[in-house]
Every structure is written in C-alpha cells, then in structure tokens.
A and B are shown apart, each in its own frame.
Chain A
C-alpha cells in the first residue's frame, strides 16, 4: 500500500509543525547568536566584539529585508548562464540514453507495469537531477571565490543575501528546466510504452455455458485475446456485441463487435488499456478501535510486529476498526459509496491460505446508532478490494449500536436490537438513514476465529473518483522538485563557508541522511543492533556478533563514550534534517493514487521553511567571511 504514514488534515498538521519549527529555529538562533557573540568577543575584545555582533544583526535585518529583485534576477541569470557553460546538457543526454535503452530491460509483462515504469523513470530523474544540482550548487560560489570573479560582484552594491538567494533561485531554475524536460520525456515514455492493444484470438471463442441465443441467434461468447506486450486477457462479449477484455496487469480494454459474424479477428475492435493510468481520489476517515468486548480503545491488538503502524482486530469477536467519514453527501457520492481497502492479515493458524480471511462491514449512523450489516467478503493480505455500499442498502441485518459509559468511565458500544418496523424494512437510504449531516461510520470486523485483520487509518478509504493521470504525474514531479530545491538550499548554504569538494561531501551527507532519516533516528536513539558507529566499527573489525554484549574494559568504555557523543550530535541533526523520503510522491503515481492538495501544501510549506532557514544561514556565513585572501 502506498500510504503508510499517518494522514493529517492541514490544520492538524500545521500548528504542531509550526510549533516544532519555531522551537528548532529558536534553539538554532540562540546557538548561532551565542557562538557569534563569543567569537566576536574573543577576536575583537569585549566592547568591540559586542558592538560588532549587534551591528552584524542590524545589518543582517537590513540586508534580508531590502534585497533588490533586479540584482537577484541578474545573479540568477548569471548562475543559469554559468551552469549551461559547464555543459550540463550532457546530463540530459545521459538521461535520454538511459530512457532509450530502458525499453530493453523494463518488462511490460510485469504484473504491475505502471508501477515498474513510473518507479524507474522517477527514480532515474530524481537521482540525475539531484546529483546535477548538488554539484552545481556546491562548486559555484567556491569557484567564484577561487577565480576572484566574486570580487567584481561584491564591490558593486550587492548584498550577500542577494548573492545567496540569486544562486538558490538560479540552480533551482536549472533543476526546474531539467525536471520539466525529463518529465515530458518520461511522460511520453510511460504512456507510449504502456499503450497497446490486442486482437481477439478467434480460435478461443466459445459460447458461454447456459447462455441462450437471442432472437437474432446471437449468444454471449467468451475467449482470450492475442498475446501482446507479453500478456493476454480473458474476454467476454455479450449478445449485442459489447464486451471487454478482463482485468490483467492492472488494466482492461473495451471491446465491441463492429460487424461480420464474429468469426474473424477483424470483426472486433479493441480499445486502448483503461484503469491503469488513473489517480484514485481517496477520502480518508478517522480511525478508532473497539476491543473484543467492544470497549473503545486508541489502538487495536499488538500481534508482535516491531512496526506498530498497523493495529489488529481479533476475528470472531466484537472487536472492530471504525472509520468516521465526513462529507458523505449525495453531491460527493451520487450513486454509491465505494469502500476500498487493503488489509494486513495475521494468522494464528494457517487455515485455508488460498481463500483468505472473512470479514464484513457495518454502516452506522453516528447520531442515531442505526447500523446495517453488509455481506461477508473474503480478504487476501494486502490485496486491494472494493466493497460497494449502494445508496439503497438491503441489509443483511439491522440493529443499533449505542454508546454507553462503563463503571470505570470507559466508552463501550452496546448492541440493541432494532424495533420491528425498522428491522423489517427492506432497504435503507444511505444518506437519509445512515448519515448524520454527511458523517458516516464504517465498521470493519474480522469473522474468522483466531485470525486478525491489521489496519491503519489509510488502509480503508472512500474512493471519491478517478482523477486524471496527467495532473497526478505532474504533482509527482513536484515532489521531486521540492527535493531538488532542498538539495540546492543545502548545497548553496554549505558553499558559503566550505570549499567546493567539502561542501559537496557535506551536501551528499545531508542527502544520504535525509533519505535514510528513520535509520539515523534509530541509530541516534540506540535502537539499532550493534551499538553506535564506533562500537559497530569495532565489531566489524573483530568480527563480533551484534547481539552479544561487548567485553567490559577500557576499549569498550572509550567506544561507548565516543558513541554517546556522536549519537548526541546525530540526535540533534535528526531534528533539523528533512525527511527526504516524505517528499517523494512517486509511489502515489505508481500505485495510482491522487496526490492530495494537503500533501502538496504541507510539503511545500516544509520546503519553503527549510529554504528560508538555509538562505538566512548562507547569508550570515557569506557576510561573516572575507571574500579576498
């Protein structure tokens, strides 16, 4: 499943994120101010050092607030010109070469061809563009300093802030140009690569069993398509000549008989693949749990997974996972409510591994407690399944689930039988009976004894509609764009005080740590096997098992102390490092999920925050250094 992080609404995300940003920024500012003041006093003496420090702060505000767009644009233009002088178009040529030969290695017969293609093109684009802007951003300023070309710039009325911002914008513009060009090529590569058609393999056609011919003597037939793009489909054509190639490799084809007696392949016309290049728009709900006695719980059962993202509900018990959805109105879902889910399964016994585990859905009005039970379905682990809740529901069972407070103050859901006039109603209206001003609860229960369903909030959602693929593809590239801008920000910031190669290593370090932030946090908090970096190094050298304790002694004490210091810095770093994987939306595109506006806004604001901080840091570093030697 693509979405395996907690989905938060913008307001839920924004205020805590702002608080964390403010906290980290405050600590950083205090540290920087303290360091600047102390170094000023040590270098210039108390009076002059303090004067120098406060003047630098004052100048800083002026330089940051009174930047000239004209000069920034001139410096941006210079960066772009400089970059193209370095023959960066070669990177594009390498990319075209990769794409040209990719068709040899990407198997269109893969079970999920879109995932394969999208993952390949977006990964290739991402790494090429990130490496390109990394090298450009870290070497530009040091090269200008080394060649002294910066002397003729800083002796003009140019502020250090304009130099830093000009470079950030210039290299971001180059990255943008490359992403747009590569994105266009990738889009054509994916769409052209996946578009194919088949013919009807007339030798396989046979009349459906038990099918009666119509008045004209035509009967529904089934068969297979020809093998194209390393796959074929089952097909079915009704008596009227309409049909489809059934779903295979994540897509299907429309089919129509265009004439003749249906005995020749040319009698049928098969359309382009459908259902593959889509972007499902999920509507997520709020998840809560009930235990086997239907007491409300924050989490379900822990079945021993180290990864606690999913919680489990026990089969054949009153345990349930409940999603509350808002906005369930006839305007949003005029015909039906498509409930799509991808469930984890934990088996305490093997059972029938082929048939999956049984479950069912309840639809409940949160105000009245009226609940209708839907038919049983069989779920296979991590296979996406869609259950349709029609507007007019014919219930399997009807009852009330009402909230009661227990003696110890806990919330418990109690089942009450429906009164006869309700229980005997043949159908219920989704919006009139089961929705409270657009709010509906969907209850998931596991029915098989001693088996468990594992769920997280994003595992069950309402599929509002299928958005077009192209805008989603563009939004996916916007995720890459944000990563690229972050790399530019770090590269330029490091290049204001480090030499080109050192700034390159520092930025590469940030890139690697940003892409593996969760591991860095585990390492910093001592949750990895084998201790910290020094201890692990000793274990590698001495070929010592990671689970055994190190022998007590001087060496171990030194190693653990050094690790303690390193891990302290790692912990500090982990608070200021962006989690670059969070900016990658390629899975959304590859798995056919729409990238929501919230996702874009939250990541966009995060990127902007980082870039602003990096820009200010870069400014102060450049301002406080001597341009000449």
Chain B
C-alpha cells in the first residue's frame, strides 16, 4: 500500500446470513477502493447500497465475508490502528447518563492520554463544538443537534489522522450543517483524512474531494467530484461588456464588437443530477459499471 493510501479495500465482499447460515443479503460485492491521505472522501448511495456496511468493515465492527480491508496498512480488526482513527456514528451512540465532560474524559482514557492532556483536550473540544454552556448536563438532556456535536467531539478526542463520519449532518439545522461542513474542511486543511457517507448530496458536493457511488453493494462511480460533475460535450462561455444587440449572435459578435472572452469550457451539472442519472442507469442495466462521468 503506497504511503499516501490510508484505506484500501480489495475485493471486499460482505454477505449477511441468518442464524442457520443461509444468505439473507449480499450487502457488498467485491469493492475495490483507495482513500488517500489528506482528502475528504464521500461514500454515496441510496438506502441499502452498502455505505454503512463499508464503514463498519473499515472499523472492524463487521468481518468481511471475502476480500480484505486495510487501514493504515493494518487489518481492520487490529485495535492498534484505532489509535489514529476517530469515528462519528450515524446516531451518536453515547452513554446518556454521562455529562459532556465525563463523556470526553471517558473516551480520552481509552487512549494513551495523560490526565492533563485529557482535561485540556476536553475543554478545547467542548468549546470547538459550542457546548461550553451545557458541558455538565447529562447527554439525555441534549437535543439531537447537541448530541451530534458531542459525538463529533468524542471522535476528535485523540486528534486522529483519519476521521470516519457516518451521516455527519443528519439531524442538524442549517446553521449546524454549515458548521459541520466548515469543521470538515478545517480538518482537511489540517492534513487529516475524512471519510464520510451521506444522503445530503449538496453537503457532499460542498466538502468532498472524491466520491464513490454505491448501488446495491456495487461500486458504480469513483472519482474527483469536479471531474465527475463536468459535462464533456457542452461548451460554456462567460463574457462581459456585450451590447444588447450582440447577445443574439454571441459567437460572431464577440470578436466584431471587440468583446473580451473570459472563460470557455464545460458546464457542470449538480451532484444530485449525477446521482439520479447513475441510479437510473444502474436500474436499467444492473451490474454494469458506469465509468468516467456522464455524457463523455
């Protein structure tokens, strides 16, 4: 695994079975994926597409049926790798009888952190997620947004290199969503790697460098967000200073009127459009991998 690759899955497959060992569902089919250091990587897909299964396999919460997953060059079930990982689950699965301070102190104790460092880190994180006023309240009294924020704080308690976020903006109001996205970008700027899965396509579009789109356990699309959203067969011209008459015959008049061409290139679609197109394509042609973006 090259040094800049933090997560690598090889032919990763997960089959859920019932008590008698009969196959219930094939949640993930031969997934090959790489996540590189310092990027924000998004996993997209409709419900049941295998996003959360992939994350659980990365974290060692599930065991692969076949294939393998390496995180920091170690097997996902190796607990040592968790020293460098922070995880925010889909719901903040925290102990409701603890206060915010106790929660962060408890998770801090699970790392090699001295009491002094734990206290300092707890204080910083509580301030970062804006829970200073509520730090001594039990989590059972928290709103969903507050619970998500303390969840993020516990994920960052060890100052991790890799942060795994499962639906990070779920349950947050617009302001909270904006803050969460800002924090994700700040983490990336600090050189950290973020892997997130989300249903909120605009959020993913805003923060992710690369995305993978899954459908029924199969990888349908993988690449940089800006490249995937590019429309290849359409040219887009941005211009200014044109007279109203010249607008009707824009191509000819730009030069005749001495106008200045500012840019010329391909327009982009929205991630939502791309996502829906891939899903429709996958439904029409099951099993076919869609590569290289739309309308190439």
**Nearest chain A CB to B144's CB is how many angstroms away?**
16
Give chain B residues whose Cβ lies under 8 Å from the Cβ of A78.
95, 106
- The reply on A159 being an interface residue by CB < 8 A is yes
Q: Which residues 124-174 of A have a CB within 8 angstroms of B?
A: 147-159
Q: Give every chain B residue within 8 A of A150 (Cβ-Cβ).
A: 93
The answer to whether A152 and B93 touch (CB under 8 A), given A71-B109, A157-B82, A159-B79, is yes
Residues of B within 8 A of A85 (CB): 97
Task: Tell me the bound Cα distance from A293 to B88 in angstroms.
Answer: 85
Instruction: Tell me whether B97 and A157 are in contact (CB under 8 A).
Output: no
CA distance A626 to B80 in the complex (A): 18
A388 on interface, CB distance cutoff 8 Å: no
Query: Which of chain B's residues have a CB closer than 8 A to the CB of A63?
Result: 79
- Contact of B95 with A628 in the complex, beta carbons under 8 Å: no
B260 at the interface (CB under 8 A from A): no
State whether the Cβ of A74 lies closer than 8 Å to any Cβ in chain B.
Answer: yes
Instruction: Decide: A155 near B63, CB < 8 A? Known: A71-B109, A82-B97, A147-B93.
Output: no
Known: A148-B93, A158-B79. A153 touches B110 (CB 8 A): yes
Say which residue of A147, A156, A628 sits within 8 Å of B61 (CB atoms).
Answer: A628
| CA of A588 to CA of B97, assembled, Å | 42
B107 at the interface (CB under 8 A from A): yes
Instruction: Give A69 Cβ to nearest chain B Cβ, in Å.
Output: 11
Residue of A nearest to B81 (CB): A157
Q: Point out the residues of chain A lying under 8 angstroms from B185, CB to CB.
A: none
Shortest distance between the CB of A46 and any CB in chain B (Å) = 15
Whole-angstrom CA separation of A80 from B79 in the bound complex: 24
Query: Which one of A148, A157, A627, A628 contacts B83 once the chains associate, using CB atoms below 8 Å?
Result: A157
A81 within 8 A of B: yes
CB contacts under 8 Å to A, within B247-289, are none
Q: Is A70 an interface residue (CB 8 A)?
A: yes
For chain A, give the interface size range. Answer: 20 to 34
How far does the alpha carbon of A155 sit from the alpha carbon of B93 in the complex, in Å? 12
Q: Contacting B110 at CB < 8 Å: which of A147, A157, A626?
A: A157
A95 to B93 CA separation, bound complex (whole angstroms): 35
A628, B62: Cβ atoms under 8 Å?
yes
CB atoms of A156 and B111 under 8 A apart: yes
The distance from the CB of B207 to the nearest CB of chain A, in whole angstroms, is: 22
Task: For chain B, residues 90 to 118, give those with C-beta under 8 angstroms from any C-beta of chain A.
Answer: 91, 93-95, 97-98, 102, 106-107, 109-112
Question: Are B61 and A81 within 8 A (Cβ)?
Answer: no
Contact A628 B109 (CB under 8 A): no
Contact B110 A158 (CB under 8 A): yes
Which of B62, B102, B109, B154 lies at the interface centre, i.e. has the most chain A CB atoms within 10 A of its CB? B109
B56 at the interface (CB under 8 A from A): yes
B-side interface size class: 20 to 34
Q: In the complex, what's the smallest C-beta–C-beta distance from A374 to chain B, in angstroms? A: 68
Q: Tell me whether A626 and B61 are in contact (CB under 8 A).
A: yes
- Of residues 55 to 91 in B, which have CB atoms within 8 Å of A's CB atoms? 56, 59-63, 79-80, 82-83, 85, 87, 89, 91
* A428 interfacial by beta-carbon distance below 8 Å: no
Could you tell me the distance between the alpha carbons of A344 and B83 in the complex, rounded to whole angstroms?
68
| Docked CA distance A424–B240 (Å) | 142
Which residues from chain B contact A77 at a C-beta distance below 8 Å?
106
Determine the chain B residues whose CB is within 8 A of the CB of A71 once the complex forms: 109-110
Contact B110–A74 (Cβ < 8 Å): yes
Nearest residue (CB) in B for A156 is: B110
A431 at the interface (CB under 8 A from B): no
Given contacts A78-B106, A157-B111, contact A628 B56 (CB under 8 A): yes
Residues on the B chain within 8 Å of A156, using CB:
82, 107, 110-111, 158
Mark A425-462 against chain B: 1 for CB-CB distance below 8 A, else 0: 00000000000000000000000000000000000000
Chain B residues near A70 (CB-CB < 8 A): 109, 112
Pair B109/A74 contact, Cβ less than 8 Å: yes
B89-A627 in contact (CB<8A): no
Tell me the complex Cα distance, A627–B57, Å: 11
**B82 near A149 (CB under 8 angstroms)?**
no
Contact B107 A152 (CB under 8 A): yes
In the complex the two chains form, is A154's CB within 8 Å of B60's CB? yes
Question: Which residues from chain A contact B56 at a C-beta distance below 8 Å?
Answer: 628
Nearest-CB residue, chain A, relative to B78: A59
Q: B83 to A74, Cβ gap below 8 A?
A: no
A73 adjacent to chain B (CB < 8 Å): yes
Q: When the two chains form the complex, which single residue of A73, A147, A626 contacts B109, counting CB atoms closer than 8 Å?
A: A73
CB neighbours (8 Å) of A151 from chain B are 59, 61, 87, 89, 93
- How far does the alpha carbon of A21 sit from the alpha carbon of B192 in the complex, in Å? 52
Roughly how many angstroms separate A81 CA and B102 CA in the complex, as a whole number? Answer: 11
Q: How far is the CA of A557 from the CA of B62 in the complex (A)?
A: 47
| Interchain CB contact under 8 A, B61 and A627 | yes
Complex: A78 Cα to B106 Cα, angstroms? 8
Complex CA–CA separation, A199 to B147 (angstroms):
70
CB neighbours (8 Å) of A73 from chain B are: 109
Whether the Cβ atoms of A82 and B95 lie closer than 8 Å is yes
A147 to B94 alpha-carbon distance, docked (Å): 9
Nearest CB in chain B to that of A52: its residue? B63
Establish whether residues A626 and B107, one from each chain, have CB atoms under 8 Å apart when the complex forms. no
Residues of chain B from 174 to 223 with CB closer than 8 A to chain A in the complex: none
Q: How far is the CA of A77 from the CA of B111 in the complex (A)?
A: 15
B136 CB to nearest chain A CB (Å)? 15
CA A490 to CA B220, docked complex, whole Å: 48
Residue ID in chain A nearest B21 by CB atoms: A43
When distances are taken between beta carbons in the complex, the residues of chain A under 8 Å from B109 are 70-71, 73-74
Shortest C-beta distance, B153 to chain A (Å), equals 12
Closest A residue, CB atoms, query B164: A155
Would you give the shortest CB distance from A235 to chain B, in whole angstroms? 61
Chain B minimum-CB-distance residue to A48:
B66
Question: CB distance B98 to A81 under 8 Å?
Answer: yes
How far, in angstroms, from A285 to B111 measured CA to CA in the complex?
56
Q: How far is the CA of A510 from the CA of B98 in the complex (A)?
A: 34
Task: State in angstroms the CA–CA spacing of A154 and B158 once bound together.
Answer: 14
Least CB distance from A35 to B in Å reads 15
Q: Note all chain A residues with C-beta closer than 8 A to B63.
A: 626
Shortest C-beta distance, A325 to chain B (Å), equals: 55
Q: Which residues of B contact A (CB under 8 A)?
A: 56, 59-63, 79-80, 82-83, 85, 87, 89, 91, 93-95, 97-98, 102, 106-107, 109-112, 154, 158
- Given A77-B106, A151-B87, A626-B63, 7 new contacts (CB under 8 A): A63-B79, A74-B106, A74-B110, A150-B93, A154-B60, A157-B82, A628-B62
**Contacts A/B (CB < 8 Å), 24 sampled:** A71-B110, A77-B106, A78-B106, A81-B97, A82-B95, A148-B89, A148-B91, A149-B94, A151-B59, A152-B94, A154-B60, A155-B59, A155-B85, A155-B87, A157-B80, A157-B82, A157-B83, A157-B110, A158-B82, A158-B110, A626-B61, A626-B62, A626-B63, A628-B56
Listed in ascending order, the chain A residues whose CB lies under 8 Å from chain B are 63, 70-71, 73-74, 77-78, 81-82, 85, 147-159, 626-628
Those 8 A-B pairs whose CB atoms lie nearest each other, nearest first: A74-B109, A628-B61, A85-B97, A148-B93, A156-B110, A155-B87, A157-B82, A628-B56
